[in-house]
Chains A and B, each alone.
Chain A
């Protein structure tokens, strides 16, 4: 069995490029994944077939191998993939491309200097899907589909650190459905569950991609508004309050409505951290709860 046959038995991709990025080896795994035969790609620039590789991160990795002779690890977490091999259209993961963990190693010439770079490509798509599922189980509230409190706390700590580093504004809103016990008692707990799910959807429609919505507990939600001062946060809370008030819910052909009360707080220099910000928003919520279907901002009277 010659070397080429041995390399063709590997369940990973192996590509060897010279200093001009011409393909010197292209093993069977690569043939199967790319649909390009060895005869097609050998001696050609890899950029002819994969122009996506002609980007700073790949060129930097090649330079590192050629200049310093060390092994470069291209992790899936950082790079997702090197060669854009599309997954089948019926792939249910939501991923469009095979996720890859790659290494790039020097192949030295007789003078001891790196003359070629050997790239290995490992398909880690299944591991990524499993990790995402586990992460979702860990981070998502099962009933509503919003983030859970554990995840929210982690994001809150991160955003507070970012606020301190860059001095960006940061606001937090807690809201609570009014008289929710009565809804459960009169229409049923399943109707209450249905309301929580619909309110989560309404809230997400009002929020930006960078905002973080979580179920805080029971009928209480919380959202974090990065880069947002308290007046803008009050505006967001007011819009959502109004949407909830106007929204008609239906459970088993029975229509009902809910309202919500909102407490808004902005992180300021006098606050120690996440506990202080949450407490400020919670106190504002307490004020709003005295009126119901209202928005109250910490530090403002009324």
Chain B
């Protein structure tokens, strides 16, 4: 089974991403009442063995970075990783804090920040990944998000999500939140097992444009 992607397939994926993220930005502004700038996504296909060093190079203070990890299943399988620099969650709290949120105790403050990060992650991942697979006419569902850190992501990569010589498709974009000096990066890593499904979806998309 050939899991490498042709130049045409990667170009098509890039095109779908551009479309998905373009519409997601406008909808995000309406949903979260703040303008979120979505930068043009950068699609790359790389060997899994190279993925960790790629993430380390892209994300400052990688091991301490705050990561929202959300797996998706269905007609495509993979994981979305929304990566914020360490401490960024403090900046985002006021954007997403609930009207009924009470801060009661020390542990709770940290937990609240984690919960807020998960809500943000859920919305951003739903907006972008959801749009991507909508365009590809593939139905996916999500597992609940969880927060983790760069170190745990490395563990995730190294322990079982992929085989070492598999290819990972990374879609990287940067979110910039208006008036907040914070940006995050989104990586979508497609499971190798669903590479054929993705290739089929891209072929269908390509033929629909012709």
Closest CB of chain A to B118's CB: distance in Å?
Answer: 7
User: What residues on B are CB-neighbors of A80 within 8 Å?
Assistant: 100-102
Flag if B109 contacts A78 (CB, 8 Å): no
In terms of DSSP, what is the predominant structure of the interface of chain A?
Answer: helix
Taking the complex as formed, is B145 at the interface, i.e. its CB lies under 8 A from any CB of chain A?
yes
**Please, how many residues of chain A have a CB less than 8 angstroms from a CB on the other chain?**
26
User: What residues on A are CB-neighbors of B105 within 8 Å?
Assistant: 135, 139
User: What residues on B are CB-neighbors of A70 within 8 Å?
Assistant: 122-123, 125-127, 130, 142
Flag if A158 contacts B109 (CB, 8 Å): yes
With beta carbons under 8 angstroms apart, the residue of B109, B115, B141 that contacts A75 is B115
| A80 and B100 alpha carbons, distance in the complex (Å) | 7
Would you list 22 pairs from A and B whose C-beta atoms are within 8 A, ordered by A residue? A55-B99, A56-B33, A57-B100, A63-B31, A67-B27, A67-B30, A68-B27, A69-B126, A69-B130, A69-B134, A70-B122, A70-B126, A70-B127, A71-B144, A72-B119, A75-B118, A77-B111, A80-B102, A135-B107, A139-B106, A154-B106, A154-B107
Flag if A68 contacts B126 (CB, 8 Å): yes
| A155 and B107 alpha carbons, distance in the complex (Å) | 9
As a 0/1 sequence over residues 78 to 98 of chain B, the CB contacts with chain A under 8 angstroms (1 = contact) are: 000000000100100000001
**Please, how many residues of chain B have a CB less than 8 angstroms from a CB on the other chain?**
37
| A77 and B145 alpha carbons, distance in the complex (Å) | 15
Flag if B101 contacts A78 (CB, 8 Å): yes
User: What residues on B are CB-neighbors of A81 within 8 Å?
Assistant: 100
Residues on A close to B: CB < 8 A? 55-57, 60, 63-64, 67-73, 75, 77-81, 135, 139, 151, 154-155, 158, 165
Q: A70-B122, A72-B122, A158-B106 are in contact. Are A77 and B112 (CB under 8 A)?
A: yes
Flag if A60 contacts B90 (CB, 8 Å): no
Closest CB of chain A to B148's CB: distance in Å?
Answer: 16
Flag if B145 contacts A73 (CB, 8 Å): yes
| A278 and B30 alpha carbons, distance in the complex (Å) | 48
Taking the complex as formed, is B58 at the interface, i.e. its CB lies under 8 A from any CB of chain A?
no
Using A56-B99, A71-B142 as known contacts, list a sample of 18 further A-B pairs with CB atoms less than 8 Å apart, ordered by residue number in A.
A55-B99, A64-B122, A64-B123, A67-B27, A67-B127, A68-B130, A70-B122, A70-B130, A70-B142, A73-B122, A73-B145, A77-B111, A77-B115, A79-B100, A81-B100, A135-B107, A158-B109, A165-B90
Question: Which residue of B is nearest A108, CB measured?
Answer: B139
Most buried by B among A70, A71, A73, A139: A70
Flag if B107 contacts A78 (CB, 8 Å): no
User: What residues on A are CB-neighbors of B31 within 8 Å?
Assistant: 60, 63-64, 67-68
| A73 and B112 alpha carbons, distance in the complex (Å) | 14
Question: Which residue of B is nearest A136, CB measured?
Answer: B105
Question: Which residue of A is nearest B133, CB measured?
Answer: A69
Taking the complex as formed, is B108 at the interface, i.e. its CB lies under 8 A from any CB of chain A?
yes
User: What residues on A are CB-neighbors of B111 within 8 Å?
Assistant: 77
Question: Which residue of A is nearest B114, CB measured?
Answer: A77
As a 0/1 sequence over residues 21 to 58 of chain B, the CB contacts with chain A under 8 angstroms (1 = contact) are: 00010010011110000000000000000000000000
Closest CB of chain B to A133's CB: distance in Å?
Answer: 13
User: What residues on A are CB-neighbors of B118 within 8 Å?
Assistant: 73, 75
User: What residues on B are CB-neighbors of A56 within 8 Å?
Assistant: 33, 99
Taking the complex as formed, is B116 at the interface, i.e. its CB lies under 8 A from any CB of chain A?
yes
User: What are the nearest 4 A-B pairs in CB distance?
Assistant: A70-B126, A78-B115, A68-B126, A57-B98
User: What residues on A are CB-neighbors of B122 within 8 Å?
Assistant: 64, 70-73
Flag if B123 contacts A78 (CB, 8 Å): no
With beta carbons under 8 angstroms apart, the residue of A63, A73, A151 that contacts B106 is A151
Flag if B30 contacts A63 (CB, 8 Å): yes
User: What residues on B are CB-neighbors of A64 within 8 Å?
Assistant: 31, 122-123, 126
Flag if A78 contacts B116 (CB, 8 Å): yes
Flag if A60 contacts B32 (CB, 8 Å): yes
| A97 and B202 alpha carbons, distance in the complex (Å) | 50
User: What residues on B are CB-neighbors of A63 within 8 Å?
Assistant: 30-31
Question: Which residue of B is nearest A75, CB measured?
Answer: B115
User: What residues on B are CB-neighbors of A158 within 8 Å?
Assistant: 106, 109-110
